Amino acid sequence: MPVNPADSPVFGTLYGSDAMRAVFDDSAYLRRMLEVEAALARVQSRLGIIPTAAAERITEAAASGPLDATTLAASVRNVGYPVVGVVKQLSERAGEAGGWTHWGATTQDIMDTALVLMVRDGLRLIGNELASIVRALAQQADAHRDTVMAGRTHLQQALPITFGFKCAVWAQPLITHLVRLTEIAARVEQVEFAGAAGTLASLGEDGLAVMEGLAGELGLAAPPAPWHAVRDSFAEVVCFLGLVTGSLAKIATDVALLAQSEIDELTEPYVEGRGASSTMPQKRNPIASEYILAAARVVAALVPVMLGAMASDHERATGPWQAELLALPQAFVLTHGALQHARNIAEGMVVDAVRMRANLVQGGGLIVAEAVMMGLAPHLGRGEAHHAVAHAASRAREERITLAAALASEPKVTAHLDEAAINRLIDPANYLGSASAFIDRVLVAARAAGVA
C-alpha cells in the first residue's frame, strides 16, 4: 500500500487521476529514458558517429518491453541513479551493438529529457481539463446571465449580481492559465543533452549537431546552453500548477459556501451516496470542493520545494535536483485530480434560482441600498444621500421593516423620490450594472483562447 494516498488504489481517485499517474509512474519514466537513448542512437547514426546497424539494434532493444525491475532496483540502490542500470540492461539486450549506447551522454541528460517528455504529456492533460472547465463555465455563465443572486463581500450580502456573472469570474483566471500553459510549454519542452559537465567534450565538434538532432527527433526545442544546473523551467511548471489549483480553490470555496444549509443556493452534482455521512442520513457534503481545497494546499506547499531546488551548485547539483522528483510528479497528479473534481462541478452543478431569489430579498431590500443612494445622490449629493439611506437602513434593521418602508418615512428621500421611483430602485434586477457585458467579454476571451 503506498504511503501517499494520492497514489493509493483506495484513496487515489480522491486526490489524483490514473491518467496522470500513468504519465509519471516508474514504468513511464523508464520507458521515456529508453526512448531518449534510442533517439540518441538514431541521431548519432545519421551523423555518422555510430554505425547505423547499431542504432537500429538499440532502437529495437529499447522497444522490446519493460526492464527487469528487480535488477534495476538493486542498481539504483547502489549507484543512486537509474541510468546506469537502464543502460546496462539496454546494452545487454542490444548485444554487440550495446557498446554504442549512451554515446557521449551523461545520466542527467537522459533523466532530464525523459522528465521533459513526461511534463509535456502532463501539461497536455492539464490543458484538456482546463479547456473543458472553461467551456462548462462559459455555458453556465451564458445560461444564468439573468439569474439574479446576492453578491457577497466579507461574507455578507453586498449588491445584486447574477450567477452567470459569478461563473464568468470563475472562468476568467482559467482562461489566463490556458494562455500561460502555451507560453510555459515553449520554455520547458527543451532537450537536455550536454555531457558530463555541460560542454559535450566527449563528442568533439559533433556535440551541438547531436544536441539539435536529438531535440528534433523528440519534438523538443534545443536550448541555447545546457540547463543541468538551471532549473527555472521545472520550477515555473510547478508554480503554474500552484496557480491553477489556487484558482480552483477559489471556485471550491464559493461552492462550499453556497452549499451551506442556511444559503443552499448551489450544490455539487448529486450521485447516490456522494458526500454522505456515516451517521447523518440527510448530509450531502461538498466533497469534490473539499478535495480541491486539499490539493491546492499541498501543491502550494510543493512550490517552495521547486524554488529551493533552483539553488544548484556548480555544474551538477548536490541534492536540489534530486528533490524535484519528490515534488513535480505529485504536483501534476494532485492538480489533475483537482481539475477533474472541478470539471464535474462545472458541468453538473445544481443551481437553485428560487433559493437565490429568496435569499436576495430576505434582507428586506437592504442589498440595494447603494442603488437608492445613487438614485438620490443627484438631488442631495453623494455624501448626504449616503447619510439619508444609511439612516433608513438602520431603522429597517432595528424595526424589522423593509428598506422601502423605512425610506418612505425619510423626508429627505420622499422629497425627491416618489413610491414608484423607490420601487424601481429597490428591484435587484435593475441594479446589475455591467454584469451581462462582463459575461460577454469573458466568452470572447474563452474563444480567443481556443475554447469554443
The C-alpha angle 338, 126, 326, rounded to 5 degrees, equals 70
Scanning the structure block, which residue is given the C-alpha cell 471556485? 251
**Final residue before a domain boundary, out of 304, 326, 357:** 357
DSSP 85-100: HHHHHHHHHHGGGGGG
Query: If residue 342 lies in a helix (H) or strand (E), which one and from where to where?
Result: helix 320-348
Q: Same domain, yes or no, for 37 and 125?
A: yes
Q: Is residue 449 part of a domain?
A: no
Q: How far apart are CA 383 and CA 37, in angstroms?
A: 74
Q: What is the per-residue pLDDT for 204?
A: 95
Is there a contact between 17 and 336 (Cβ–Cβ < 8 Å)?
yes
Q: What is the per-residue pLDDT for 364?
A: 85
Q: Same domain, yes or no, for 99 and 195?
A: yes
Q: Same domain, yes or no, for 387 and 243?
A: no
Q: Is residue 299 part of a domain?
A: yes
Q: What is the pTM of this model?
A: 0.93
Record the cell numbers describing residue 320, joined without a space. 536540489
Q: Is residue 373 part of a domain?
A: yes
Q: What is the per-residue pLDDT for 410?
A: 83
CATH number (domain holding residue 386): 1.10.40.30
Closest CA to 20 of 421, 338, 439, 267: 338
Is there a contact between 250 and 170 (Cβ–Cβ < 8 Å)?
yes
Residues 6 or more apart whose CB falls under 8 angstroms from that of 223 comprise 190, 191, 192
**Final residue before a domain boundary, out of 334, 357, 380:** 357
**Final residue before a domain boundary, out of 325, 357, 389:** 357
Q: What is the per-residue pLDDT for 270?
A: 79
For 388-407, b/e burial (b = at least 16 CB within 10 A) is: bbeebbebbeeeebbbbebb
Q: Is residue 439 part of a domain?
A: no
Scanning the structure block, which residue is given the C-alpha cell 492539464? 126
Residues 6 or more apart whose CB falls under 8 angstroms from that of 277 comprise 283, 285
Domain count, the chain: 2
Q: Same domain, yes or no, for 110 and 222?
A: yes
Q: Same domain, yes or no, for 87 and 62?
A: yes
Record the cell numbers describing residue 166, joined without a space. 459569478
Q: Same domain, yes or no, for 305 and 388?
A: no
Q: Same domain, yes or no, for 319 and 374?
A: no
**Strand 148-153 relative to strand 156-162, pairing:** antiparallel
Residues in the chain predicted with pLDDT less than 50, given as ranges, are: none
Q: Same domain, yes or no, for 222 and 281?
A: yes
Q: Same domain, yes or no, for 383 and 276?
A: no
The residues assigned a catalytic role are: 277, 316
Q: Is residue 21 part of a domain?
A: yes
Scanning the structure block, which residue is given the C-alpha cell 447516490? 272
Q: Same domain, yes or no, for 386 and 409?
A: yes
Q: Same domain, yes or no, for 280 and 404?
A: no
Q: Is residue 130 part of a domain?
A: yes
Q: Same domain, yes or no, for 245 and 345?
A: yes
Q: Is residue 239 part of a domain?
A: yes
Taking only the tens place, the pLDDT of each residue in 360-377 is 988 888 888 888 888 888
Give the domain extent around 401.
Answer: 366-425
Q: What is the per-residue pLDDT for 170?
A: 98
Q: Is residue 387 part of a domain?
A: yes
Taking only the tens place, the pLDDT of each residue in 111-167 is 999 999 999 999 999 999 999 999 999 999 999 999 999 999 999 999 999 999 999
CATH number (domain holding residue 279): 1.20.200.10
Radius of gyration of the chain (CA): 30
Q: What is the per-residue pLDDT for 230?
A: 95
Mean of per-residue pLDDT scores for the chain: 93
